[in-house]
Structure 1
Amino acid sequence: MNILMFTNTYAPIVGGVSESVQRLKSRLQAAGHRVLVVAPKMEGQRRRDADVIRVTAVQHFNGSDFSLPVPIPGQLYEAIEAFDPDIVHSHHPFLLGDTAVRVAETYGLPLVFTHHTLYEHYTHYVPGDSPRMQRFAVALATEYTHLCDAVIAPSESIHQLLRRRGANSQIVVVPSGVDAQRFARGDGQALRRSLAIPESAYVVGHVGRLAKEKNLPFMAEAVSHYLANHESAHFLVVGDGDARATMASVAARHGVEARIHFTGSLREQRLIDAYHAMNVFVFASHSETQGMVLVEAMAAGLPVVAVSAPGVDEVLRDGKNGRLLKADDVSAMVEALTELADPECRASMSRHALAMAGSFDEARCAAHCLQVYRQVIAAGGPFRHADDSAWERVRARLGAEWRMLCHRGRVLRSMLQDDDQDAPLPKEGTLQDPATK
């Protein structure tokens, strides 16, 4: 099968969507399928990557870690036609996601969309951030699903959220996968030595972008409070971003700045070693759709302390593989970290964490995604290939532009609706969830 993917974030960006796309691509290729990714040009990218098409982009849009693609669709069609895709997979509902719709419509290809992100939590990157902008983000992503033949939700909680919002009913739950066996092997002590963290220290750890939407001030407050009362404890923070200064300031206020260690972004084995240098993993974001780093941490045998949120609730079992907090409660997080300082308590939870991580194996998740592709291809009719006549392609492109215009009209109508009105649940779709087979 030839699979054409569109994503606004890709390597060398370190983040959930970028990692999910790369892992899915690698697994599909390992299974014998061809994958071509369309992504923005980015600083530090590989000079040559035969299976990636790069389009012009504005780097670090509005101070974020993201690039803003400025695609010129006409420049893409020659490469796309040479690839001759069987299906289009969009990983965003805007920018290159719009291009994905145009390509799918032009060639009569089925379009699958993965709803990776709760975009309403990211509107602070857009000038004029406001509740209206958040409603616009919800409407944009929801209406985009109706341009697609199938929608992939990375967790059941996101599936239910999309249904409540009136999204396309053809929703299938397929989580992003993790190579659990690879994350199970790491040299934590070597990383500790490189940071002058004592071998016997109790290390609380976190991995992720240090960005506003990750609820990091609360996490830093809780962990710093714990460190202030436990002199042998350390805080290992893997990742980078604007929130780093805030976290450092919180640690300084508690007098524990010498025991908070910022490594910056780590990749490959160095990242895995960092997980193994930790004793417990903390997470406080409310904006995740799955929380892939939680699964990575569990694959390294770490119990997790996290705040209840979509996606998080499905991998974290309170009292089994960690502690699930009901809300942003400093005292509750400190209490959980105190409980997990006991090695016997951690050992029991570690076994359950490893078992949970095994259920998110990359190969299994990629196989589920491939089954979705096959189902939507089988459900469709005949489609146009790259060798069709120029007139047919022009007519199809006009049709694509008309669909995009109608899409924007639906978004505007949605914006005018009562903000508090709950959309009725759509009827169950006929697309079968491969996870239930």
Structure 2
Amino acid sequence: MNLALFTNTYAPFIGGVARSVQTLENECRTRGHEVAVVAPEFDGAAPAGHVLRVPAIQDFNGSGFCVRIPLPNLVRDFIDDFCPDLIHSHHPFLLGDAALREAWKMRVPLVFTHHTLYEQYTHYLPLDSPALRRAAIQLDTEYCNLCDRIIAPSGSVRELLVSRGVETPVEVIPTGICLDDFASGDRARGREKHGIPADAKVVGHVGRLANEKNLPFLAEAVIDALRQRDDAVFLLVGDGDAREAVETTLRDALGERVFVVGGQSGQDLFDAYAAMDLFAFSSQSETQGMVLAEAMAAGLPVVALDGPGVRDIVVDGKNGRLLDAAAGSSELALAVTDFLDDPGLPTAWREAALARAEDFGTEACVEEMLACYGRAIADYEHRRSEDLGVFQRLLDGAEAEWDLMSAKLAAAAAAAVSPLVPET
């Protein structure tokens, strides 16, 4: 198959969606498929013949994300030359719009992976408000209904989408991870690199350090827990706009018992996971929570708040603790100290964590995705002919633009009324 992936985040940007796209791309290519990627320009990006970099505004509003500058003919020519059998969109806006246009014009199916709960990210936009969050939900829902297949990374996200009015078939396919990589971490090497005592109890967290990740809550819980255990430290891996604030809070309370090491990748990341004894997580803006699967592949139990994606991985009392979404930071702190105080829990929960991680292996997840692609192509009613003709292309383009405009009008209308669809 010829597969075209459209994404607003892509390497060398570090983030869950970027990693997901690159993993999918590499695995599909390994299996003999041709893959092209359309992504924004990004500082430090190496040129690649199969990747179209479109001009973009870098680090929009401090978010770390890039906002494309529309140049439709650039994308049009690239896709014409590649001649895809299927287009896979990874966002419902910006390059997601372009993916929809090209799928209509080329008469190929459009698959969309719902990586993100976009209403949790409206604080990056001017005039953030409940109305803007309602608009984000409605725009997302309308976009889903313009696609041929939706991929939900977890069952809880599928349920949420259906409850919001998504009528397009939704398939649950997690983003896969390489289990061997995360099992290869070296505990001693990870601790030595960051100056962590060999005999310390290490509570850890990995992720993008951004406002939507509920980091003040996590910091408060960690501070409370570590004040009760002199032998415990906190290892924070990641970077982002909230790093300075959360690091200051932690260091003011815990001093040298806090290790903030920035973003890590490759073996350094695997070793950082291996250096930990327990993974702490409080975000409720996830669709899968890839770091939770990574932590479990490294043999780490997880203490987390309930939320979409999280409840699909953490089984309370088996591979960690899953607290109520409304739990306070003191309850999360108590779950951490209970784990550290009970010598029997680490071994039992570690084994269960490793077993749960098996469900997220790259090979199985990519095979499921390729099977989904095959079904989407087989079910597609308007097959591409050898020569669509100029007039038919104009009609298809007009239809795509009308659908996009209708979706945005529906989102604007949703912003003006009380919520009619479930929020997270």
Q: TM-score, normalising length from structure 1?
A: 0.93
The residue aligned with 1:430 is none
Distance in 2 separating the partners of 1:288 and 1:68 = 22
Distance in 2 separating the partners of 1:148 and 1:382 = 13
Distance 1:203 1:292, change over 3 A: same
**Which is worse superposed, 321-330 or 271-280?**
321-330
Distance 1:177 1:289, change over 3 A: same
> Contact (CA 8 Å) 2:220, 2:329: kept in 1 or not?
yes
Distance in 1 separating the partners of 2:247 and 2:85 = 49
- Alignment partner of 1:314 out of 282, 307, 312: 312
Equivalent position amino acid for 2:394 in 1? V
Distance in 1 separating the partners of 2:382 and 2:241 = 49
Q: Secondary structure at the match of 1:92?
A: coil
**Which is worse superposed, 402-411 or 103-112?**
402-411
The residue aligned with 2:381 is 381
Distance in 2 separating the partners of 1:289 and 1:382 = 31
> Contact (CA 8 Å) 2:136, 2:411: kept in 1 or not?
no
Give the Å deviation of 1:51: 1.9
Distance in 1 separating the partners of 2:385 and 2:155 = 35
Distance 1:328 1:242, change over 3 A: farther
Note the residue ranges of structure 1 that are not aligned, 5 or more in a row.
424-437
Q: Secondary structure at the match of 1:94?
A: coil
Q: Secondary structure at the match of 2:280?
A: strand
CA deviations on 1:120-169 (whole Å, 9 max, x unpaired) are 11000001111111111111101101110111111111111111111124
> Contact (CA 8 Å) 2:284, 2:308: kept in 1 or not?
yes
Equivalent position amino acid for 2:403 in 1? R
Give the Å deviation of 1:211: 0.4
The residue aligned with 2:162 is 163
Equivalent position amino acid for 1:73 in 2? P
The residue aligned with 2:302 is 304
Q: Secondary structure at the match of 1:287?
A: coil
**Which is worse superposed, 410-419 or 63-72?**
410-419
Equivalent position amino acid for 1:325 in 2? L
- Alignment partner of 2:287 out of 281, 284, 289: 289
Distance 1:81 1:385, change over 3 A: farther
Give the Å deviation of 1:382: 4.4
> Contact (CA 8 Å) 1:248, 1:257: kept in 2 or not?
no
The residue aligned with 1:101 is 100
CA deviations on 1:226-247 (whole Å, 9 max, x unpaired) are 2222222111111011222222
The residue aligned with 1:117 is 116
Q: Secondary structure at the match of 2:159?
A: helix
Give the Å deviation of 1:181: 1.7
Report how many aligned residue pairs link the two structures. 421
> Contact (CA 8 Å) 1:178, 1:361: kept in 2 or not?
yes
**Which is worse superposed, 397-406 or 123-132?**
397-406
The residue aligned with 1:279 is 277
Q: Secondary structure at the match of 2:65?
A: coil
Distance 1:371 1:415, change over 3 A: same
CA deviations on 1:261-314 (whole Å, 9 max, x unpaired) are 111111111111110011110110010001010000000000001111111001
**Which is worse superposed, 87-96 or 391-400?**
391-400
Equivalent residues in 2 for 1:420-435, closer than 5 Å: 420=420
The residue aligned with 2:12 is 12
Distance 1:84 1:385, change over 3 A: farther
Distance in 2 separating the partners of 1:362 and 1:115 = 18
Distance in 1 separating the partners of 2:18 and 2:118 = 15
Give the Å deviation of 1:41: 0.3
Give the Å deviation of 1:417: 4.3
Distance 1:156 1:9, change over 3 A: same
Equivalent position amino acid for 1:263 in 2? V
Distance in 2 separating the partners of 1:368 and 1:405 = 33
- 2:221 corresponds to 1:210: no
Note the residue ranges of structure 2 that are not aligned, 5 or more in a row.
none
Distance in 2 separating the partners of 1:108 and 1:251 = 53
Equivalent residues in 2 for 1:69-84, closer than 5 Å: 69-84=68-83
Give the Å deviation of 1:385: 5.8
Distance in 2 separating the partners of 1:416 and 1:248 = 39
Give the Å deviation of 1:391: 3.7
Distance in 2 separating the partners of 1:162 and 1:382 = 26
- 2:210 corresponds to 1:235: no
Give the Å deviation of 1:418: 3.2
The residue aligned with 1:419 is 419
Q: TM-score, normalising length from structure 2?
A: 0.96
> Contact (CA 8 Å) 2:156, 2:308: kept in 1 or not?
yes
> Contact (CA 8 Å) 2:163, 2:421: kept in 1 or not?
no
> Contact (CA 8 Å) 2:247, 2:260: kept in 1 or not?
no
Equivalent position amino acid for 2:32 in 1? G
The residue aligned with 1:90 is 89
Distance in 2 separating the partners of 1:198 and 1:386 = 66
**Which is worse superposed, 34-43 or 72-81?**
72-81
Distance 1:211 1:328, change over 3 A: farther
Give the Å deviation of 1:422: 6.2
Equivalent residues in 2 for 1:262-277, closer than 5 Å: 262-277=260-275
Equivalent position amino acid for 2:143 in 1? Y
Distance 1:200 1:34, change over 3 A: same
CA deviations on 1:157-188 (whole Å, 9 max, x unpaired) are 11111111111241111111111122111112
Distance in 2 separating the partners of 1:386 and 1:122 = 42
Equivalent position amino acid for 1:350 in 2? R
CA deviations on 1:302-355 (whole Å, 9 max, x unpaired) are 000111111100110111101111134222222221222244311110000001
Distance in 1 separating the partners of 2:257 and 2:422 = 47
Q: Secondary structure at the match of 1:264?
A: coil
Give the Å deviation of 1:34: 1.1
The residue aligned with 1:364 is 364
Q: Secondary structure at the match of 1:365?
A: helix
Equivalent position amino acid for 1:296 in 2? E
Distance in 2 separating the partners of 1:281 and 1:191 = 15
Equivalent position amino acid for 1:198 in 2? P
Distance in 1 separating the partners of 2:328 and 2:264 = 29
The residue aligned with 2:150 is 151
Give the Å deviation of 1:410: 2.8
Identity of aligned residues (%): 46
Distance in 1 separating the partners of 2:106 and 2:421 = 37
